[in-house]
């Protein structure tokens, strides 16, 4: 059975990635995450783009573990804020702050901004690294706008504030199955799947 290390300790991301890979037919891959490596210290994410940071994380995790590693770097880009929070999405309100603080800062920054100027997009870059090879990357994106107040009780991060244009619903109002059809991470995983299966020499796709 091939083994893949999902290079994150974020339980929400692990759940989404596991579900999406299995939904795409990759049933018989042993999936690990960084929870299995308590002593591991993640590298500094000092890239200039989502793809840069995904590569940094994937390469470090593959070298540490000896397994093929998949890392994602994703975030929210708001047009009225010049693309912010962008690669700083997870730390928008400062180091150590949580999703609620990041959402509160976003709403404060957009206070008084009309709906037509609240366009936004979620972007995800995925990198897959072999311990002895160059990382491969893929990306996905979903368009929408920022709500004036949270909506829905699902998802995580900025999901409660993100309205998905193509579905006319908030991201946090979607079930896991619905989100895994349209989200930026789901689309990036779909684009990355052929690269991943090739590296894993995986033959049993259904």
Residue ranges per structural domain of the chain: 3-200
CB neighbour list of residue 50: distance below 8 Å, 6 or more residues apart: 73, 74, 75, 87, 123, 124, 125, 139
73 catalytically annotated: yes
Q: For position 203, what pLDDT does the model report?
A: 46
pLDDT attached to residue 88: 95
pLDDT at 164 over 60: yes
Beta carbons within 10 angstroms of residue 79's beta carbon: 15
Contact 135/128 with Cβ under 8 angstroms?
Answer: yes
- Region of 13 (left: φ > 0; alpha: ψ -120 to 50; beta: rest) is alpha
Q: Check residues 26 and 125 and name the one with the higher pLDDT.
A: 125
Paired residues of 30 in beta bridges: 3
Min mean pLDDT across 3-17, 103-117, 142-156 is at 3-17
Q: What is the mean pLDDT of residues 125-137?
A: 93
Residue 29: its pLDDT value, please?
82
Other C-beta atoms within 10 Å of 196: how many?
Answer: 22
Catalytic residue among 73, 98, 99, 159: 73
- Per the CB < 8 A criterion, the answer to whether 92 and 105 are in contact is yes
Q: What is the mean pLDDT of the chain?
A: 91
Dump pLDDT digits (tens) for 42-91: 999 999 999 999 999 999 999 999 999 999 999 999 999 999 999 999 99
Q: Above 50 in pLDDT, residue 206?
A: no
DSSP state of 80: G
Confidence of residue 9 (pLDDT cuts 50, 70, 90): confident
High-pLDDT (> 90) share of the chain, %: 71
Mean pLDDT value across residues 89-107:
92
Q: What's the CA gap between 90 and 113, in Å, rounded? A: 22
pLDDT bin (cut points 50, 70, 90) of residue 202 is low
143 or 26, which is more confident: 143
* Whether pLDDT at 15 is above 60: yes
Q: How far is Cα 24 from Cα 205, in angstroms, rounded to an integer?
A: 8
pTM: 0.88
CA distances from 58 to 71, 139, 148 (A): 5, 14, 35
Q: Which CATH architecture has domain 3-200?
A: Alpha-Beta Complex (3.90)
């Amino acid at each position: 059975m091939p083994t893949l290390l999902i290079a994150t300790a974020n339980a929400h991301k692990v759940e989404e990635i596991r579900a999406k890979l299995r939904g795409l037919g990759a049933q018989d891959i042993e999936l690990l995450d960084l929870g299995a490596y308590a002593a591991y210290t993640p590298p500094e994410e000092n890239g200039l783009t989502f793809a840069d940071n995904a590569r940094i994380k994937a390469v470090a995790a593959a070298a540490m573990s000896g397994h093929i590693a998949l890392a994602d770097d994703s975030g929210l880009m708001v047009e009225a804020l010049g693309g912010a929070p962008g690669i700083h999405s997870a730390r928008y309100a400062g180091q150590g702050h949580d999703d609620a603080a990041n959402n509160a800062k976003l709403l404060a920054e957009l206070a008084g901004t009309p709906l037509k100027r609240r366009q936004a997009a979620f972007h995800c870059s995925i990198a897959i690294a072999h311990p002895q090879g160059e990382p491969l990357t893929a990306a996905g994106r979903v368009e929408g706008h920022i709500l004036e107040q949270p909506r829905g009780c699902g998802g995580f991060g900025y999901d409660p504030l993100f309205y998905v244009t193509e579905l006319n619903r908030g991201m946090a109002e979607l079930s896991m199955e619905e989100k895994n059809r349209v989200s930026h991470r789901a689309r990036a995983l779909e684009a990355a799947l052929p690269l991943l299966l090739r590296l894993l020499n995986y033959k049993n796709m259904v």
